[in-house]
């Protein structure tokens, strides 16, 4: 479909442009320029190519449209409005209301509206992912494309096709400059994802000015080196050229496609490359009047949607999608019942009935096992019963122990998209965002690397929390237990950073049985991401006939050992739990009443009611010692201003672990000494 623009096409495009101008002006905030420049691109894609059913926007085999240039949100909102997309409510039902009404557009960037400044998943039907931080949408789209390949291998049977969607991503100069896009593009080229198309808005403008200030590479050549097909459209207003490029993508095989589109930001404005349009400011009333005049638009009309433009986009989408949707429903009806149940559960966020069957158990063992190793055993046990649980590492699976080793697990590759072991390469940032894209496509992904490299993954972890995606981020080598690798690899402040993220579960088990219980918690989540924080070194497996059941870990903190009326509380997480237990036993032998609280998750503990929290941390017991090989920030809430902290107040050092423990005070003698001081201090008060 390569025809040039008709008068109706032009009217629809100008409707998108003027809605963007008017919404930004009314809000007195936002970015009008990019929606104006990209309106022909968005309209051409949606009207002529996108497989999307306005009445069934949650159709699993719809094409995905990702607006990585999230600041151009008014482009997406205008498209959703003109497409007449029906809202899907929080219960997955069609509400009968429009996803985006004209009143919603008038409430652009206002409190409680469905048109926030950047598109937000779950808030607005038709928004496939939360975008805004540049590059994240690009990497999400790679995850969506990978998910389609896996889903097709899993569900396309006997000539029936349930999954063959394409993923289209609008990206800009900022996306191209961010490193995450390069990481994601490199992996996409390696995996030969020919269902992926990035459309690059080459408008040569960034906030500081012309992109030549800091950006001069040949983007097409860069992507060719990644193994992508590349195409070039020299004028974003040339619908015929845009259509030809998109049609070429549809026929390209063996590689993803980049379409470079030259555009003018704020197109139609009397001042091309308008400063306000480029910098995220309203155009101003007079500039809008002049721009509308240039479009042949009524200058005094605001939020005008002409009758002729009202149904064009919706009709085009319905005409294309209706027969495909009917075929899809027939294929679903013919699907093997077991696979049909799988797909239903995946869409609903449910686990298989027997997902906790045949789990390992860990007997008491003083020598013990590293929680990364027990975590690997547990992960494999779960994965055998959860077919859509898949993931991998940033080139560290031999260390993180996250390989799926059972028969049939396979390796996801360009030669076999059915595998469940993913190889992200040393691309931590993209790995996290790709996993988010997979979670947005019904899969349950996990990632893994060393805890210190959570620094490289903070943006996608944060966005997983914002989007309420139950991704599991596995982090091993979680403390100075890394030993000889030294301070560059010994995480100190990282637990604090993770705990500071709203909506994120940070889980740091103290032994193998706590690891099992916390993996259960992570996989049971439907709207919350989790970080599994695991040790490199062996942790003693505690004798649960002597100490409390590890099931208490699911409440975030529990009394592991001790007297009913303690004089001092010893709080610990992860590898330090066994140290706290040893200190407790020493105090007990001296007739001192102590209690050990294992506290693997602050977030889970805070979810409990006050009665339970007070039973674990009795307010009357002021003598408290926390033991954790990480920074101190935040522990005051649990040990008070006068509590003792055996923590890390500096970076680590390169040395064998026993030497590090001695240097930084992680010894039984030091913990016992502080516990006694706490008791004396509180008796004196």
CA dihedral 101, 102, 106, 112 (to 10 degrees): -10
- Collapsed DSSP state (helix, strand, coil) of residue 163: coil
Measured CA angle at 610 (ends 605, 614), to 5 deg: 80
CB atoms within 10 A of CB 387: 18
H-run or E-run covering 411: none
Selected catalytic residue, list 178, 428, 576, 603: 428
Joined tokens for residue 586: 């020493």
pLDDT, average across residues 593-618: 98
Q: For residue range 101-137, list pLDDT tens digits in order.
A: 999 999 999 999 999 999 999 999 999 999 999 999 9
List the 644-646 sheet strands across, edge first: 558-562, 594-598, 568-572, 624-627, 644-646
pLDDT, average across residues 368-372: 98
pLDDT of residue 528: 98
In terms of Cα–Cα distance, which of 144, 197, 207 is closest to 174?
Answer: 207
pLDDT of residue 478: 97
Return the half-sphere exposure (C-beta side, CA atoms, 13 A cut-off) of residue 164.
Answer: 12
pLDDT, average across residues 179-206: 95
Distances 76 to 85, 100, 251, 289 between C-alpha atoms, Å: 12, 10, 26, 23
Tokens 């906790």 locate to: 356
Report whether pLDDT(277) > 60.
no
Q: How many residues does the chain have?
A: 685
Exposed / middle / buried, residue 324 (Cβ in 10 Å: 0-12, 13-18, 19+): middle
**β-pairing verdict for 196-202 and 257-262:** parallel
pLDDT of residue 271: 59
Joined tokens for residue 44: 């051409």
In contact, 590 and 679? CB cutoff 8 Å = no
In terms of Cα–Cα distance, which of 130, 170, 167 is closest to 152?
Answer: 167
Distances 562 to 549, 584, 600 between C-alpha atoms, Å: 13, 8, 18
- Collapsed DSSP state (helix, strand, coil) of residue 313: helix
With cut-offs at 50, 70 and 90, classify the pLDDT of residue 279: low
pLDDT of residue 131: 97
- Collapsed DSSP state (helix, strand, coil) of residue 53: coil
- In whole angstroms, give the CA distance from residue 74 to residue 458: 27
Joined tokens for residue 553: 């870990």
Joined tokens for residue 645: 């902290």
| All structural domains of the chain | 7-326 (3.40.50.970), 365-540 (3.40.50.970), 556-684 (3.40.50.920)
Report whether pLDDT(184) > 80.
yes
State the DSSP code for 670: H
Report whether pLDDT(9) > 60.
yes
In contact, 69 and 39? CB cutoff 8 Å = no
- In whole angstroms, give the CA distance from residue 657 to residue 642: 29
Joined tokens for residue 535: 């040790």
Tokens 């981020």 locate to: 473
- In whole angstroms, give the CA distance from residue 663 to residue 209: 52
Measured CA angle at 538 (ends 532, 540), to 5 deg: 95
- In whole angstroms, give the CA distance from residue 21 to residue 28: 10
In contact, 475 and 543? CB cutoff 8 Å = no
| Cross-strand partners of 98 | 86
The DSSP string of 413-459 is: BTTBTT-SEEE--S-HHHHHHHHHHHHTTT-EEEEEEEGGGGGGGHH
Measured CA angle at 198 (ends 192, 202), to 5 deg: 135
pLDDT, average across residues 644-648: 98
- In whole angstroms, give the CA distance from residue 420 to residue 444: 11
In contact, 424 and 468? CB cutoff 8 Å = no
- In whole angstroms, give the CA distance from residue 528 to residue 471: 8
pLDDT of residue 289: 93
Q: For residue range 422-468, list pLDDT tens digits in order.
A: 999 999 999 999 999 999 999 999 999 999 999 999 999 999 999 99
- In whole angstroms, give the CA distance from residue 638 to residue 599: 10
pLDDT of residue 14: 96
Report whether pLDDT(186) > 80.
yes
- Collapsed DSSP state (helix, strand, coil) of residue 477: coil
- In whole angstroms, give the CA distance from residue 125 to residue 131: 14
pLDDT, average across residues 36-55: 97
- In whole angstroms, give the CA distance from residue 377 to residue 341: 27
Q: Three-class SS string for 349-393?
A: CCCCCCCCCCCCCCCCEEEEEEHHHHHHHHHHHHHCCCCCEEEEE
Least confident of 267-276, 292-301, 384-393, 603-612: 267-276
CB atoms within 10 A of CB 3: 10
| Cross-strand partners of 530 | 472, 505
What mean pLDDT is reported for the chain? Answer: 95
Q: How far apart are the first and last CA of the chain?
A: 84
Q: For residue range 265-274, list pLDDT tens digits in order.
A: 777 776 554 5
pLDDT of residue 91: 87
pLDDT of residue 205: 73
- In whole angstroms, give the CA distance from residue 95 to residue 103: 17
With cut-offs at 50, 70 and 90, classify the pLDDT of residue 1: low
Report whether pLDDT(168) > 90.
yes
pLDDT of residue 222: 97
With cut-offs at 50, 70 and 90, classify the pLDDT of residue 682: confident
With cut-offs at 50, 70 and 90, classify the pLDDT of residue 204: confident
pLDDT of residue 206: 75
Tell if the pTM clears 0.85, that is, is over it.
yes
- Collapsed DSSP state (helix, strand, coil) of residue 503: coil
- In whole angstroms, give the CA distance from residue 347 to residue 56: 14
pLDDT of residue 265: 77
With cut-offs at 50, 70 and 90, classify the pLDDT of residue 280: low
- In whole angstroms, give the CA distance from residue 627 to residue 146: 42
- In whole angstroms, give the CA distance from residue 457 to residue 474: 11
- In whole angstroms, give the CA distance from residue 428 to residue 99: 35
H-run or E-run covering 561: strand 558-562
To the query of whether residue 428 is one of the catalytic residues in this protein, the response is yes
pLDDT of residue 270: 67
pLDDT of residue 267: 73
In contact, 639 and 625? CB cutoff 8 Å = yes
In contact, 7 and 237? CB cutoff 8 Å = no
pLDDT of residue 553: 98
- Collapsed DSSP state (helix, strand, coil) of residue 67: strand
């Amino acid at each position: 479909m390569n025809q040039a623009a008709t008068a109706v096409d032009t009217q629809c495009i100008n409707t998108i442009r003027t809605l963007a101008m008017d919404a930004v002006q009314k809000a007195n905030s936002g970015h009008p320029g990019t929606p104006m420049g990209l309106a022909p691109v968005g309209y051409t894609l949606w009207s002529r190519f996108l497989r999307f059913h306005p009445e069934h926007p949650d159709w699993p085999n719809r094409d995905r449209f990702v607006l990585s240039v999230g600041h151009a949100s008014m482009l997406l909102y205008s498209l959703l409005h003109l497409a007449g997309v029906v809202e899907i409510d929080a219960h997955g039902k069609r509400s009968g209301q429009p996803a985006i009404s004209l009143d919603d557009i008038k409430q652009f960037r206002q409190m409680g509206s469905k048109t926030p400044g950047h598109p937000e998943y779950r808030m607005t039907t038709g928004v496939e992912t939360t975008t805004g931080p540049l590059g994240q949408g690009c990497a999400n789209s790679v995850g969506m494309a990978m998910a389609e390949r896996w889903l097709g291998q899993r569900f396309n049977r006997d000539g029936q096709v349930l999954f063959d969607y394409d993923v289209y991503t609008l990206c800009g100069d900022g996306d191209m400059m961010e490193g995450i896009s390069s990481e994601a593009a490199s992996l996409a080229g390696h995996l030969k994802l020919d269902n992926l198309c990035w459309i690059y808005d080459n408008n040569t403008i960034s906030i500081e000015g012309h992109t030549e200030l800091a950006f001069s590479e040949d983007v097409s050549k860069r992507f060719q080196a990644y193994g992508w097909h590349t195409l070039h459209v020299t004028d974003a207003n040339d619908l015929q050229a845009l259509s030809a490029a998109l049609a070429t993508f549809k026929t390209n095989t063996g590689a993803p496609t980049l379409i470079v589109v030259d555009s003018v930001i704020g197109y139609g404005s009397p001042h091309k490359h308008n400063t306000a349009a480029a910098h995220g400011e309203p155009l101003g009333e007079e500039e809008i009047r002049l721009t509308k005049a240039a479009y042949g638009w009524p200058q005094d009309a605001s939020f005008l949607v002409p009758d002729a433009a009202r149904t064009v986009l919706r009709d085009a989408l319905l005409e294309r999608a209706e027969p495909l949707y009917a075929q899809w429903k027939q294929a679903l009806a013919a699907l093997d019942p077991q696979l049909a149940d799988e797909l239903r559960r995946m869409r609903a966020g449910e686990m298989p009935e027997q997902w906790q069957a045949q789990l390992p158990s860990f007997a008491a063992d003083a020598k013990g096992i590293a929680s990364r190793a027990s975590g690997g055993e547990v992960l494999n046990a779960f994965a055998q019963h959860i077919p859509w649980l898949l993931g991998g590492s940033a080139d560290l699976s031999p260390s993180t122990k996250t390989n799926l080793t059972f028969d049939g697990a396979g390796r996801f590759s360009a030669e076999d998209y059915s595998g469940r072991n993913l190889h992200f390469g040393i691309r931590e940032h993209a790995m996290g965002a790709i996993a988010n894209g997979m979670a947005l496509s019904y899969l349950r992904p996990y990632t893994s690397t060393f805890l210190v490299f959570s620094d490289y993954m903070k943006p996608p972890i944060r966005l997983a929390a914002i989007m309420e995606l139950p991704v599991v981020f596995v982090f091993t080598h979680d403390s100075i237990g890394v030993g000889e690798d030294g301070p560059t690899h010994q995480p100190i402040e990282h637990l604090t950073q993770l705990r500071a993220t709203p909506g994120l579960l940070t889980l740091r088990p103290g032994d193998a049985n706590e690891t099992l219980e916390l993996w259960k918690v992570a996989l049971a989540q439907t709207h919350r991401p989790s970080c599994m924080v695991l040790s490199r070194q062996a942790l003693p497996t505690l004798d649960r006939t002597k100490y409390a059941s590890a099931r208490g870990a699911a409440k975030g903190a529990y009394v592991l050992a001790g007297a009913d009326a303690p004089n001092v509380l010893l709080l610990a997480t992860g590898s330090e739990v066994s140290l706290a237990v040893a200190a407790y036993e020493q105090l007990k032998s001296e007739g001192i009443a102590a209690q050990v609280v294992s506290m693997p998750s602050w977030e889970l503990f805070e979810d409990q009611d006050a009665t339970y929290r007070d039973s674990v941390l009795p307010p009357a017991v002021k003598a408290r010692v926390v033991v954790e090989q990480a920074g101190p920030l935040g522990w005051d809430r649990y040990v008070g201003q006068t509590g003792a902290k055996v923590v890390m107040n500096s970076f680590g050092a390169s040395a064998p672990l026993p030497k590090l423990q001695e240097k930084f005070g992680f010894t039984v003698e030091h913990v016992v000494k502080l516990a006694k001081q706490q008791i004396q201090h509180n008796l004196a008060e």
